Amino acid sequence: MPVLKKYDSYWFDYPDDPIGGAIEVLYLNEGKKAELKEKTTPTQAKLRRKEIEVNMDMNAVRTREETAVAYIKDWKNFFDGKKVKGHPNGKEMKCSSPNKRKFSKEDGFMNFLTDCILEVEAKVKKDKEKEEKN
């Protein structure tokens, strides 16, 4: 009987962060990656006589935002940066799609997330290879 596979997620500490920020990154299977690609890459097709010409238009902002939304399962110690009395880093932000979109625009955040995604991919690949051997 076919069973939907639950994929893993892994925690990563934000580098050089004195407050201990961390994100939990999901592994996306091929189907989920295809959904992400469809959300972020509009395709326009033009028919020319006997050949098809396909033009791809990518929206970099939307790609950053939707990548963060799709891959980040959870986080801890993420703050809005608006200093208030007793909270020098501001208010702690919950892990929500709108907040993930905000952080996707921060310098360095997407580089960190991309590194985490690549590491998750490598870990899952290694785990799958182990399963196939057993």
Instruction: Report which residue type is found at 126.
Output: K
- Summarize pLDDT for 47-83 with one digit per residue, the tens: 566 566 656 556 788 899 999 999 999 999 999 888 7
Q: Which 3 state secondary structure label does DSSP give 43?
A: strand
Percent of the chain scored above 90 by pLDDT? 48
- pTM of the prediction? 0.79
Q: What is residue 78's predicted lDDT score, i.e. its pLDDT? A: 93
- 8 Å CB contact between 11 and 24: yes
